[in-house]
Each structure stands twice: as C-alpha cells, then as structure tokens.
Amino acid sequence: MTTQTLAEQKLANIIVDALNLEDIKPEDIAPEEQLFGDGLGLDSIDALEIALAISQKYDVQMRAEEENTREAFTSLRNLCEFIKNNE
Amino acid sequence: MSSHDSPLICRAAKDPIAHINTKLAPLGELNGTISAQQFLCHVRQLAKQLPTQHYAINLCDNRYLFMVALCAVIVRQQTNLLAPNAHCATQEKLNQRYKNSYVLHDGGIKTADNIPQFDLSNILLTNHSSDFDIPLVSLDHLAVISFTSGSTGNSKSNHKTWHTLVTSTAINQRYMLPNADQTFYQLATVPGQHMWGLETSVLLALRANVCSSDTRPLYPYDVYQQLAALPSPRMLVSTPVHLRALVDKNTEQSKLDIILCATAPLNQALACDVERLFSTELREIYGCSEIGSMAIKKTAQEENWQRFAGISFKHNEKSLISASAEHITHSVELNDQIELLDQTHFKLTGRSSDTINIAGKRGSLYEINNLLLDFPGLLDGVVFLPPQKQRVPRLAAIVVLNNEASRQQLVNYLRQYLDSAFIPRPLIEVEALPREKNGKLPQSQLLTFFESLRKNPSSLVN
C-alpha cells in the first residue's frame, strides 16, 4: 500500500472526522483507493459533508458541474491534489 | 375528452415547462427554456420508438429526459416503474416481479445483462412539428408504480393511476405554490424518481405554473449557480440535509419566492435561517410514498401541521392514524404518532420504532435486519440506530461471522441490496453478542455493549 503524504494524512483525518467513520482509521485510507462505490463505500450524503468540511478547512469550493471535481472525488490523492490546485 | 380521460399536460403551447442547463445528447444544441409545445414534440417522438414491453424501469437521471420518458411511457399506455435506486440487483428484482419490463435510461449507468434496455442518449429528439395536440390519458391507466425509498427490493409497491396523479397534483398546486399566475422557475435537489421529486419537479411542471430545471445539484456552490441561472420568480425544492449545507455557507443570497422542504423533519432554527438567507417563505411538507404529500407547515412560524383538504385522517383500532383520500384506492396506516388537534390541524409526536429515516430515505429496521440474517456466513447479528450527534445519523451493526465469511463480503452483500444510506457503519465483528439466556438482546444491553466496543477501538475489526 502506498503511504500517505503529510497533506493526505491531514485530509484523511478531516474526512474520518467529518463522516464519523469510527471503524476506519485515517491511515487506513489508501491514497489511490476509490472513495465512493466499491472502495470506501461513501455516498452523496458523505460527498456533501466532505465538501462542507473542505470549504471550512481550506476555503475551497467543490463544484460537481466541473469535470475536475468529479475526478477529485475518486481518491484521497486526487482530492488532495484538487485542494492544492484551488487553494 | 370523455369523463374518463384527462390531458397529459395542462399548459398552453408557449408556456415554459422546463429549463435546460445541461448539454443533453438527445436534444443536440437545444438548451434554455423549453415550451410545452416543444416538450410534447419530444414526448411523441420518444413514444414512437419505445419497445413494446409493458413496464419501463425508468432510470433516466437527467430530470428533463426523465420527464419526457415518463410521459412517453404513459402515452404508449405502459407503466413507469420508479425504482428506489439504479443498482443492477434492483433492476433484476423488478424484472423478475414485472416479467414484461425493460430498462429505460439516459446512459451512464450499469444495466443488468439479461433485461432489454432503451438508451435515450443514442437517439435525437427534434422539434420540427408545430402542432399542439395534447394526448389524452385514461384516468384508469396505471401510470406509475413507485417503491418505498431505501427498500430492500421486496417492499410494497405503490400503484398510481393517472387519476391519482392528476388529483393529488391539483391539491399540491393549491398548497405548494404561491397564489399567483406567473410561472415559477423551480430548482430541485431531489431526483424525479422519488415521490417528493415526482410530485414537485415533474407533475407540477406538467399541470401547474412551474418550469422545472433539468439539473439536480448537490454542493452548495452548485445550488447557488443553478439558482442564478434561472429566471425569476424562482423556487427551490429540497430536503433538510441539503438546506443545512446551504445555510452553513451563509453568504447572502438573492431572493427566492418560495422554498419547499420535505422527506425528514426540519427544525425551526434551520427553517428560520433558510428564510432569512433567501428572504423567502419556507413551506415544509409532510407525506409518505403511498399517498404523497398530505400536510403543510410554515415551520419558521408554526408548530402544527395543516392537513390538505382532500386527505382524511382517522384513528384505527391500533391507535395509529390511517390516511385516506378519494383518489387513493386503499387507506394507509402512517408510521408516525399523530395527535389530532382539530378538523385540520395535527402534531407529530413520534415515529414507530421500526421506521428509520436517513437523509430523507425511509426504511424498515425489520427488513434490513432480515436481509442481514440472510447473509450465508452470518452466525449472529443485529442492525440498529444508535443515538448519535451526526447531522445525518447512520445505522450500526454488530455481527458474528463464521470462518469462511469476511466483513468485506458482508458489506458487498449489503451494498447489492441496500441504498448506501442504510449500509451500517460502523459494522463491527465480534466473537458473540451479549444475548440473555432466553436469546433476547434488550436494546439497553445492546447500546452498552456498542459503547464499550467504541471506547476500545482495538476491538473494532476492519
């Protein structure tokens, strides 16, 4: 399993905290694992919670109409990259 | 028109019926406002091309294409099956139950291999014709069968004849829309397939002064963008989950003429915040899938519900309320504890313990537990709703599995059948449940056990 970068660790903590994922440890989220569907199994309610947490912690707005937001939500790594590029 | 028919739409030819803000393959370059005449033209063209099966599992995701598909199915005297989700397992279950069915979709979904399908994204709908003959629909025609949201696939089906839909929409128009002749441009954050979305974003557009946006934004930023793209007067149809997210951003917004909210209880503080943020009036609606919308409350100002004229409430022998209406064949026992105050007003005082509501999706703990118990590798287990502070509560499960089964296999199994909102988390694997000698597992004991597992994270199995 690829290790998380520092930025990914921070984001993983925010996600686990925002979603109250008590049976998942932040360090267990593989950076390239699918967040939704078959991977971590998150859903649209989670997407909304994550979007709110990200807007509060990083001041970055998630916008589904944009192709790169959809891409961002595919994995922890892409989401982290998206925030870096939009901060 | 005989007394046994009613027109498919009650709009004038030039009336705006939909507002397209997405590039849709079947419409080519067409976007912006769609008139009733253009809409009917699309409906007629699609109706001619539909397969001959009797039931259409209508999974169209774009709201406009869903509306066109819904009406084309009705014009062909077929029945729309409105599935609780688009999972392949759901498609297969529906196809087994309704033998003569096909999947009608607009691309981008996985369809079950052995079921005929029709993909709207492969056809082109033009609007060359200028005639405006509104099709008549027999009032007895079974237009829609809807299924309780979050159901496990075997749930009770709700039959909606054209008579039911036409009558309930006339009632809804009276209570949901401001008393004005203007067309209200409506954005909805809910899908057309669910009763709440069907009643508001589809049926009101067909038969009242509403023009429905084809989009279904989720994130606050997108909701604001989509609202800004609509002409005034504007309205928003939403749920407490989406409204909470909008208020969280709390930047000043331009005026909306009305907001409708349903699917789960809305608290008064949030209702007040929403009214302030959009300088608007918020009407909360109470309903159920079997009947549809039944009552209204201006939640920022009122505590009591006003029942719609045309819907009756009666105490039944179990001290629950049965709801009925002239346009619904059977009366329905409501899952909520209701205190009747006078002829039209009532209070909601609680919910029967089996019914859960997660982000507006209603499910039965009994059904979900039965599904869990059907998992081949399960030795013992329980799904329950623990007390929690999260905005959207989630179910939890504690299970005992045999050596051949893994936690991940169980999660995959549940995902096949359940809406994601009902997938338990945490799902904790243990050696044994703290059952009493007689096999009972009292709720208090379960919750104490659950708390002890959470305080000791090393016991959580991943």
Q: Is the ipTM of this complex over 0.90?
A: no
Select from A24, A45, A63 the Cβ nearest to the Cβ of B421: A45
DSSP codes, B412-433: HHHHHHS-GGGS-SSEEE-S--
Look up residue A73 and give its two tokens: 């939500």
Chain B residue closest to A50 (CA)?
B219
User: pLDDT tens digits, residue range B242-284?
Assistant: 898 888 766 767 789 999 999 877 889 899 999 999 999 999 9
CA B316, distance to chain mean position in Å, is: 27
Cβ contact, residue pair B394, A20, below 8 Å = yes
Asked, for residue A44, whether it belongs to a domain, the answer is yes
Chain A residue closest to B459 (CA)?
A23
Question: Tokens 């300088």 appear where?
Answer: B279
User: pLDDT tens digits, residue range B20-40?
Assistant: 999 999 999 999 999 999 999
CA nearest to B344, candidates B93, B175, B459: B175
The confidence score (pLDDT) of residue B409 equals 92
Q: pLDDT at residue B237 above 90?
A: yes
CA nearest to B238, candidates B59, B62, B359, B335: B359
Asked, for residue A63, whether it belongs to a domain, the answer is yes
Shortest Cα–Cα distance, A23 to chain B (Å): 5
Residue A12 belongs to a domain with what CATH number? 1.10.1200.10
Cβ contact, residue pair B225, A63, below 8 Å = yes
Question: Tokens 């407490």 appear where?
Answer: B240
Cβ contact, residue pair B390, A20, below 8 Å = yes
Contacts of B241 in chain A (CB under 8 A): 45, 48
Distance CA B14, CA B12 (A): 6
B 202-221: CB under 8 A from A: 217-221
> B153: pLDDT confidence band, cut at 50, 70 and 90?
very low
CA B151-B70-B7 angle, to 5 degrees, is: 125
Look up residue B11 and give its two tokens: 């709009």
The confidence score (pLDDT) of residue B357 equals 80
Element (DSSP H or E) covering residue B356: strand B355-358
Q: pLDDT at residue B155 above 70?
A: no
Shortest Cα–Cα distance, A63 to chain B (Å): 6
Element (DSSP H or E) covering residue B185: strand B184-188
Select from A21, A43, A48 the Cβ nearest to the Cβ of B421: A43
Q: Name which of A2-11, B145-154, B315-324 the model is least confident about.
A: B145-154
The confidence score (pLDDT) of residue B258 equals 97
Chain A residue closest to B21 (CA)?
A65
Chain B residue closest to A36 (CA)?
B420
Partnered with residue B34 across adjacent β-strands are B18
Contacts of B245 in chain A (CB under 8 A): 48, 51-52
Beta-carbon count within 10 A of A69 CB: 20
Cβ contacts of residue B126 below 8 Å, gap of 6+? B28, B41, B45
Cβ contacts of residue B440 below 8 Å, gap of 6+? none
The confidence score (pLDDT) of residue B250 equals 61
b/e map B158-191, b = 16+ CB within 10 Å: bebbbbbbbbbbebbbebbbeeeeebbbbbbbbb
Shortest Cα–Cα distance, A57 to chain B (Å): 13
Q: What is the CATH number of domain B5-351?
A: 3.40.50.12780
Distance CA B306, CA B125 (A): 43
CA nearest to B206, candidates B3, B4, B16: B16
Burial label for B377, CB within 10 Å (0-12, 13-18, 19+), is: middle
Backbone angles phi, psi at B347, to 5 degrees: -120, 145
Q: pLDDT at residue B120 above 90?
A: yes
Partnered with residue B142 across adjacent β-strands are B161
Asked, for residue A53, whether it belongs to a domain, the answer is yes
Look up residue B152 and give its two tokens: 């496990």
Q: pLDDT at residue B327 above 80?
A: yes
CA B390, distance to chain mean position in Å, is: 22
Chain B residue closest to A59 (CA)?
B249
Which amino acid, one-letter code, is at B453? Answer: L
**Please, what is the angle between helix B365-373 and helix B407-417, to 10°?**
130
Q: pLDDT at residue B152 above 50?
A: no
Contacts of B248 in chain A (CB under 8 A): 52
pTM value surpassing 0.80: yes
CA B324-B366-B352 angle, to 5 degrees, is: 45
Q: pLDDT at residue B151 above 60?
A: no
Asked, for residue A25, whether it belongs to a domain, the answer is no
The confidence score (pLDDT) of residue B421 equals 86
Cβ contact, residue pair B392, A23, below 8 Å = no
User: pLDDT tens digits, residue range A46-57?
Assistant: 888 898 899 889
Which amino acid, one-letter code, is at B107? Answer: G
Contacts of B222 in chain A (CB under 8 A): 63-65
**Domain coordinates in residue numbering, chain B:** 5-351, 364-459
CA nearest to B111, candidates B81, B82, B91, B84: B91
Q: Name which of B50-59, B64-73, B427-436 the model is least confident about.
A: B427-436
Beta-carbon count within 10 A of A6 CB: 8
Q: Average of pLDDT values for B405-421?
A: 89
Chain B residue closest to A19 (CA)?
B390
Contact status of B374 with chain A (Cβ, < 8 Å): no
CA nearest to B301, candidates B285, B322, B282, B320: B282
The confidence score (pLDDT) of residue B360 equals 75
Contact status of B241 with chain A (Cβ, < 8 Å): yes
Distance CA B272, CA B290 (A): 30
Distance CA B390, CA B388 (A): 6
Which of A22, A29, A57, A61 should we substitute to test contact with B (largest number of B Cβ atoms within 10 Å)? A22
Q: pLDDT at residue B60 above 80?
A: yes
> B149: pLDDT confidence band, cut at 50, 70 and 90?
low
The confidence score (pLDDT) of residue B114 equals 92
- The CATH number corresponding to B364-459 among 3.40.50.1000, 3.30.300.30, 3.20.20.70, 3.40.50.970 equals 3.30.300.30
Contact status of B366 with chain A (Cβ, < 8 Å): no
CA nearest to B47, candidates B70, B27, B11, B73: B73
Considering only residues B299 and A33, tell me which one the structure prediction assigns the higher pLDDT: B299
Share of chain B above pLDDT 70, in %: 95
Q: pLDDT at residue B188 above 90?
A: yes
Shortest Cα–Cα distance, A73 to chain B (Å): 13
Domain that holds residue A79: 6-19+33-86
Look up residue B214 and give its two tokens: 């084809």
Look up residue B307 and give its two tokens: 């029942």
Positive or negative: CA dihedral B118, B122, B128, B130: positive
Cβ contact, residue pair A45, B241, below 8 Å = yes
Shortest Cα–Cα distance, B243 to chain A (Å): 11
